[in-house]
A = this chain, B = another copy of it.
Amino acid sequence: MNTYDPDTLLEFSANLIEAMGSPRENALIVARHLVEAQLAGHDSHGVIRLPQYHSHVREGKVKPGARVEIVRESPTTALLDGHYTWGQVTAMKAIELGIAKAEENGIAALSLRNCYHVGRVGVYPLAAAERGLIAQVHCNGHGVCRVAPWGGTEPRLATNPVAIAIPTRGEPLLVDITTSVVAEGKVRISRNANREIPDGWVLDSHGRPTTNPADLYEGGSLLPLGGREGHKGYGLSIIVDLLGGALSGAGCGTMTEKVGNGLFIQLTDPACFCEREEFLDHVERFTEYLKSSPLKEGVEEILLPGEPEQRAAALRREQGLEIDDGTWGQLLELAKGLGVEAPGDS
């Protein structure tokens, strides 16, 4: 395990992505996304993804040179086709277009298709909230699914996250949650570590509760958010799938074999309804009020959505990003294959 400076990692990642066939500008968008996901504590969405991204380039699942197309447009709406360039490039272009529309007309809605893996979904609403806008993103996954319909046993829905950011006077509030009980990655980590998972995460292929993570990968399914009230997570998951996949034409669940994300993005300028400062006052007073509630025994502090990631980022920006030797070895090998200089080589 070694520790790396975020800027060094950013430069290295951008060079690798550029060498895969990306224009420099887009390579920087993807590299920044990966490093920032890792700063926020989401290592699974960080530079560890680069070898997989490279495989997908070679298999033609990503087309690093493709250009994002605006298929339909109105003053407040747009449909974008990513043509399978990097998902981060498609989604950032959509957010920037949406910000311009919402700043001009108050609200905006955008739909994205043919969009490769967008990475950490929360990044996109955050980018808009940093500009003072409220942002909601419904992101379906299509092609690979882990969640069964409520009462069923066969996975037909992805973990279908929702991410919503609200501007504050400091860092935005960010709710970034899967509509499944947990992200699939958490089950995978337990399986790789040979650890049991908590009851309530997974059903086996017969629809029986199990604490063996391997059951998920042998015809089992991940449960929707809600425990006994899982019909609520199931309902939200259907909404995400239809908003992300049906509006855009990307496709829903496993009804398409193409692997990717379909997105529906909504932006709202609070100034449509009230003075901007008045809104920020409300947010500030309400969040302080929530944090000041008496605590349960054993709880040290009430956190707001997004705070754990903000704290991780502050710490990691200072202390650097840890990367295990296995992952680092893969990155060095990738660099060698692509003719890219690794940090410390010179």
Contacts and interface: CB of A to CB of B under 8 A. Distances in A.
Given A153-B293, A302-B149, A243 B134 contact: yes
Contacts of A206: 296-297
A173 B74 CA distance: 27
A175 B270 CA distance: 25
A183 B287 CA distance: 23
B106 A252 contact: no
Interface in A265-298: 266, 268, 270, 272-274, 278-279, 282-283, 285-287, 289-291, 293-297
B296 A203 contact: yes
Given A109-B107, A207-B296, A302 B241 contact: no
Contact of A154 (B111, B268, B293): B293
Contacts of A293: 148-149, 152-154, 156
B76 A76 contact: yes
Contact of A153 (B106, B200, B295, B303): B295
Contacts of A111: 272-273
Nearest to A73: B272
A27 interface: no
Contacts of A166: 239, 242-243
Given A76-B76, A200-B227, A232-B177, A274 B249 contact: yes
A126 to B, nearest CB: 14
A149 B242 CA distance: 31
Interface string A239-273: 10111011111001101000000000010101011
A207 B156 CA distance: 37
A35 interface: no
At the interface, is chain A mostly helix, strand, loop or mixed? Answer: mixed
A3 interface: no
Given A200-B228, A225-B226, A274-B249, A296 B152 contact: yes
Interface residues of A, number: 84
Nearest to A181: B229
A198 interface: yes
Contacts of A249: 273-274, 278, 282
A266 B249 CA distance: 21
Contact of A198 (B228, B234, B301, B305): B228
B294 A153 contact: yes
6 contacts: A134-B247, A152-B302, A156-B293, A175-B238, A206-B296, A245-B286
**A-B residue pairs, 7 tightest by C-beta:** A227-B227, A152-B293, A207-B296, A246-B282, A175-B235, A235-B305, A151-B299
Interface of A: 72, 74, 76-77, 79, 105-109, 111, 134, 148-154, 156-157, 164, 166, 173, 175, 177, 181-182, 198, 200, 203, 206-208, 225-229, 231-232, 234-236, 238-239, 241-243, 245-249, 252-253, 255, 266, 268, 270, 272-274, 278-279, 282-283, 285-287, 289-291, 293-297, 299, 301-305
